[in-house]
Amino acid sequence: MKISGSTILITGASGGIGGAIARQLVQRGATLILVNRDGDKLAAFAAELDAAGGKPIPLAGDLAQPGEPARIVQDALAQSGSIDILINCAGVQNFGFFAEESAADTATLFQINTVAPIALTNAVLPHMLKAGKGQIVNLGSIFGSIGFPCFATYSASKFALRGFSEALRRELAGTGVGVTYVAPRFTKTAFNRSAVTRMANALKMNQDDPESVAASVIAAIERNDRERYLGWPEKLFVRINSILPRLVDPSLIKQVDQMRPFANESTR
């Protein structure tokens, strides 16, 4: 879909990847509706984009609250008149051994990573269908295709988002509304707390800058990609894991011992 002249609602807008996407979208002439939880951070970021000529609309909201996605879309439409593209980028991560994870943390993670993007899509879809055009863009993860130890609920939340994206894309074929799922690998943002970053370094995980991830997300939008997996060899591992998961089991099971001290530190 064309970026220039489009009105784009992006959640997680002041985060590492969302912020980089927003800056690049402004450079390409989009009008942005920025959503995140922290109102002060959002106002500062909106002022930065305004100074760059972006004229963004900031909308603070807590996606962990069930009623918020519908309210956010309603307010966004009232202020902007239209939404051409929805980018679901807000997300949180639970890292550690699942036996130590509280039910409340699991529920919050699913609310933010899975239920909120689905609810935002549900609220914006009638508007896009009426217009006969639109694009839903969901930020997943390589862990949304490869179930990763010590990220069990995070992986599950992104598996669900990937399944939703695939089903909805098929359902909407021919309507003019597309669905794009983008799966980054480890990206250097505040999303990864200290223990996760040190673990990633110890495991020699490949790491991307948010700017390059943002450029890939925008390329995926422009090309109306169905799915885009970022990084080599990660995109190959995704294929192998989907066809022959038993081939992948031994290396990931072996890694649990290397992850243990970091996971213990995280859940202590």
Ligand X SMILES: NC(=O)c1ccc[n+]([C@@H]2O[C@H](COP(=O)([O-])OP(=O)(O)OC[C@H]3O[C@@H](n4cnc5c(N)ncnc54)[C@H](OP(=O)(O)O)[C@@H]3O)[C@@H](O)[C@H]2O)c1
**With respect to ligand X, which residue has the nearer C-beta, 14 or 31?**
14
**With respect to ligand X, which residue has the nearer C-beta, 186 or 262?**
186
Residues 26-85 that bind ligand X (CB under 6 A): 36-38, 41, 62-64
Contact between 14 and ligand X per CB under 6 A: yes
Please identify which of the residues 151, 154, 159, 229 carries the catalytic annotation: 154
**With respect to ligand X, which residue has the nearer C-beta, 64 or 81?**
64
Contact between 252 and ligand X per CB under 6 A: no
Contacting residue, 119, 137, 139, 168, with ligand X by CB under 6 A? 139
Stretch binding ligand X (CB under 6 A), from 127-135, 186-194, 237-245, 248-256: 186-194
Q: CB of 42: closest distance to ligand X in angstroms?
A: 7
Active site residue 181: no
d(CA 159, CA 217): 18
Stretch binding ligand X (CB under 6 A), from 22-30, 89-97, 125-133, 167-175: 89-97
Residues within the interface to ligand X (CB under 6 A): 11-18, 36-38, 41, 62-64, 89-92, 112, 139, 141, 184, 186-187, 189-192
